[in-house]
Amino acid sequence: MNMKNQIIGIVGAGAMGSGIAQVAAMAGHKVVLFDNNPGSLEKAQTSLHTNIHKLQEKGKISNAAEIFQSISFTSKIEDFAPCKLIIEAIIEQLEVKKAVFAEIEKQVQDDCALATNTSSLSVTALAASCRLPERFIGLHFFNPPPLMALVEVIPAIQTDPKITDASVALMQSWGKTPVQAKDTPGFIVNRVARPFYGEALRIYEEGIADIATIDYAMTHLGGFRMGPFALMDYIGHDVNYVVTETVFRSFFHDPRYKPSFSQKRLLEAGWLGRKSGKGFYDYSPDATVPQPDTNPEKCQMILDRILAMLINEAIDALYLGIAQESDLEIAMTKGVNYPKGLIQWCKEWGASKCLAVLDDLYRTYHEDRYRASALLRKMADEEKK
């Protein structure tokens, strides 16, 4: 199956949907951008016109008008009829998405592939609601789609392998870096990255270190571009907390993914982070910037604890066949800009050291949260031999 040069349909004219539409149009496709809210369509039309013409002003493209004209904006779902791929990018609610795909299937031909941009829902469950589940796949773009190279390609258990291969080839033709993941909660990035937030929150809630100190340890010692609290505020707690809660629930309440009351309270207060002006940090102009405790021993302890949890999560994903090692490494460096792949980090740091940190935490807390992956134990044993 070849999706190249075909008409692409996008459901949802929000930031993700319009961003994906821009990517497809710039790759030479005609695009049908659908939304049942006229206001959203109008906003998307304005922002896409601005963004595409800015690229021409910067000399990155020379055909802005042609690209923009290749996108049609519509509130009529029947306009999807000629499309060969539809990508849905709407609210993260299973029943809403199912209803939308039921309507789409009435409009398109049987050879039209259907894709969801979900970041946390079951692709298999969505596929099961379709008349032809074998044509369904997950294509998880990262925000903003025109700038972020990574796309997680997630076949449902019903997906025809030809659809998977065609999707990977299409993403490559769009200049994206596709990685393939098994359909499990959080896929690669949202699963493996959970300890970056969760363990930082645990350290903060226990009073071991304050927010500024934890962020300092991860950026200055770890080389991460943003600390976990600054990043949660940047993403928004309405997004980050909900993903954590969804992953926790989807993993049958595995304590490794347990949400935090501190973050939940911010969400309940409407303190969503940068977008609301307040989250873990205060973003008002006259706010005092908190200063970290730069004690080297404390900062090293913070980094070791969070890093050990991250490495363990990546190695366990490899052990359980969630993705190949190369895809796991690419996903974390290109999807969330980690300074290096976590499995490579483990090899440099030493599996024995990582295991020692986890086992020490387990002895302290006696919580399954700190259980080491069987593969990490095996790596540590081989290291000793």
pLDDT surpasses 90 at 5: no
pLDDT at 176 over 80: yes
Q: What is the pLDDT of residues 6-24, one digit of tens each?
A: 999 999 999 999 999 999 9
Residue 372 above 90 pLDDT? yes
pLDDT at 347: 96
| Domain residue ranges in the chain | 8-180, 190-384
**Cβ-contact 309, 269 below 8 angstroms:** no
CATH no., domain 190-384: 1.10.1040.50
pLDDT score of 256: 97
**Residues labelled as active-site residues:** 119, 140, 152, 190
Each residue's pLDDT tens digit, 67-97: 999 999 999 999 999 999 999 999 989 999 9
What pLDDT is stored for residue 137 in this prediction? 98
Res 2 pLDDT > 80: no
Average pLDDT of the chain, as a whole number: 96
List, for residues 113-164, the tens digit of each pLDDT value: 999 999 989 999 999 999 999 999 999 999 899 999 999 999 999 999 999 9
Q: What is the 3-state secondary structure (H, E, C) of the chain?
A: CCCCCCCEEEECCCHHHHHHHHHHHHCCCCEEEECCCHHHHHHHHHHHHHHHHHHHHCCCCCCHHHHHHCEEEECCHHHHCCCCEEEECCCCCHHHHHHHHHHHHHHCCCCCEEEECCCCCCHHHHHHCCCCHHHEEEEEECCCCCCCCEEEEEECCCCCHHHHHHHHHHHHHCCCEEEECCCCCCCCHHHHCHHHHHHHHHHHHCCCCCHHHHHHHHHHHCCCCCCHHHHHHHHCHHHHHHHHHHHHHHCCCCHHHCCCHHHHHHHHHCCCEHHHCECCCECCCCCCCCCCCCCHHHHHHHHHHHHHHHHHHHHHHHHCCCCCHHHHHHHHHHHCCCCCCHHHHHHHHCHHHHHHHHHHHHHHHCCHHHCCCHHHHHHHHHHHC
| Equal CATH topology for 8-180 and 190-384 | no
Q: Lowest-pLDDT range, 107-111, 189-193, 195-199, 242-246?
A: 242-246
CATH class of 8-180: alpha beta
304-329 mean pLDDT = 98
The reported pLDDT for the residue numbered 351 is 98
The pLDDT value recorded for residue 1 is 67
Q: Kindly report the backbone phi and psi dihedral angles of residue 178, in degrees, each rounded to the nearest multiple of 5, phi listed first.
A: -80, 140
Report the pLDDT averaged over residues 37-45. 96
Kindly report, residue by residue over 268-278, the tens digit of the pLDDT: 999 999 999 99
Query: Is the pLDDT assigned to residue 45 strictly greater than 80?
Result: yes
Both structure tokens of 205: 């809630």
Q: Give the phi and the psi of residue 203 in degrees, each rounded to 5.
A: -60, -40
Residue 4 has pLDDT above 80, yes or no: no
Within 10 A of 215 (CB to CB), how many other CB atoms are there?
A: 24
Burial of 197 (0-12, 13-18, 19+ CB in 10 A): buried
What pLDDT, on a 0 to 100 scale, did the predictor assign at position 91?
A: 92
Q: What is the mean pLDDT of residues 279-303?
A: 97
pLDDT band at 228 (very low <50, low <70, confident <90, very high): very high
Query: How much of the chain, in percent, has pLDDT values that exceed 90?
Result: 96
Q: Name, in order, each residue with C-beta under 8 angstroms of 132's C-beta and a sequence gap of 6 or more.
A: 105, 110
